[in-house]
Amino acid sequence: MKVPFVDLKAQYQSIREEINSAIQNVLDSTSFILGKSVADFERAFAVMHNVKYCYGTSSGTDGNHLCLWAIGTQPGDEIIIPANTFIATVWGATLCGAKPVFIDCHLSGYNIDPSNLVKAITNKTKAIVAVHLYGQPADIEDINVQLSILNFESENTGVFKHKKTGQVIYLVEDCAQSHMAEYKGQRVGGLSYASSFSFYPGKNLGAYGEAGAVCTNDEFLADKFKIMRDHGSQQKYTHITYGHNYRMEGIQGAVLSVKLKYLNKWIEMRRKAAKLYYDMLSNIEQIVLPKEMEYARHVYHLYVIRVKSGREKRDSLLKYLSEKEISTGLHYPIPCHLQPCFSHLGYKKGDFLNSETLAEQGISLPMYPELKNEQIYYVCDMIKNFLS
């Protein structure tokens, strides 16, 4: 039996007529960049995430950059980022000329471990990027607690001010993998000062091309987002600030609006698939399954298991599954601090043991809403065959 890692065709077939007609409307209107379809999507997406402002962007990577750029990040600043994330989170910092400062993740939820903040924060820290990786929210309250230990106070806005020095640190969310995930009943995206989303086709909410979004509850920042994503311009021919072309395409807005209506249903289907994986695999000693934290509604963008004995066995399992026509993924086999492009930062193997463990042991199983029970049984049977 063939089990793909994701199946974009199955989803398209289920909503084909609606999608085709939404795209046709954009073609008829020739509103190819921004326009009504994007504005409609932005409004609906903001409502669903309980944030005041949302602006569509050209990608999640561009959204990462826009968030840090719009808060004024510049050379000399430090941005704290979990070592276990996709590299795009880090480009947000480097494109501003800032220095990424990596910290380790938890081995339970796989997100930023806030207890590491105390030694990572300096008087140059400008922002902390909390990535809600694999679909599970980071522990936002614990980040607040750690900042308050260091004498930073906030009025629940994601902006933290040091009581004595006045230094300001912004909390930023990277929600690329976590649309509609919840932290203590609150949706991600509005738990910080600025957040970014990706609509890369394979994401839980995926466009039919490149697309992303930035969100905030702050009116001042929202204006900056709107202006900076469009060449720093509010009025044609006048550029009041630096900017770039980070606009969303009309067709992507139209596709995303159609798909947004199904998002909750698709997440429930992912959660069911995750439960079935759990029921089938939870008694296997040699592996560790993802754990939904007690504070979280996990949206299972990825279902990452760990092979306890390490890289060699993990790689053999990967090969075995591939021979059985099961596609898997690695998220991520080289943690950010060990990427060659950051060698000048002086990190070394052993600096962030949890991220390194995950890189050596992790394997992402097929996960998408349309995944059939029989396919999950087959994947689990093959894992059991291999490990027994």
Ligand X SMILES: Cc1ncc(COP(=O)(O)O)c(C=O)c1O
| Chain positions contacting ligand X, by CB under 6 A | 59-61, 64, 85-86, 88-89, 131, 174, 176-177, 198, 200, 212
Closest CB to ligand X among residues 137, 212: 212
d(CA 110, CA 292): 11
Give the E-state strand segments of the chain in sequence order: 53-57, 78-82, 99-103, 125-131, 152-153, 159-162, 168-174, 182-183, 186-187, 194-198, 212-216, 233-235, 238-239, 287-288, 296-297, 303-307, 362-365
Structure tokens at 33: 């960049």
- The answer to whether 371 and 275 are in contact (CB under 8 A) is no
Q: Residue for token digits 């339970």?
A: 108
Closest CB to ligand X among residues 167, 331: 331
For residue 79, give the nearest of 36, 124, 28 by alpha carbon.
124
Residue 331 CB, nearest approach to ligand X (Å): 8
Closest CB to ligand X among residues 367, 383: 367
Residue 43 CB, nearest approach to ligand X (Å): 21
Residue 131 CB, nearest approach to ligand X (Å): 5
Neighbouring CB atoms inside 10 A of 54's CB total 24
Neighbouring CB atoms inside 10 A of 316's CB total 12
Residue of minimal Cβ distance to ligand X: 60
Residue 378 CB, nearest approach to ligand X (Å): 27
Residue 57 CB, nearest approach to ligand X (Å): 9
d(CA 368, CA 262): 13
- The answer to whether 352 and 102 are in contact (CB under 8 A) is yes
| 227 SS3 class | helix
Closest CB to ligand X among residues 131, 256: 131
Closest CB to ligand X among residues 201, 386: 201
Residue 54 CB, nearest approach to ligand X (Å): 15
Closest CB to ligand X among residues 167, 198: 198
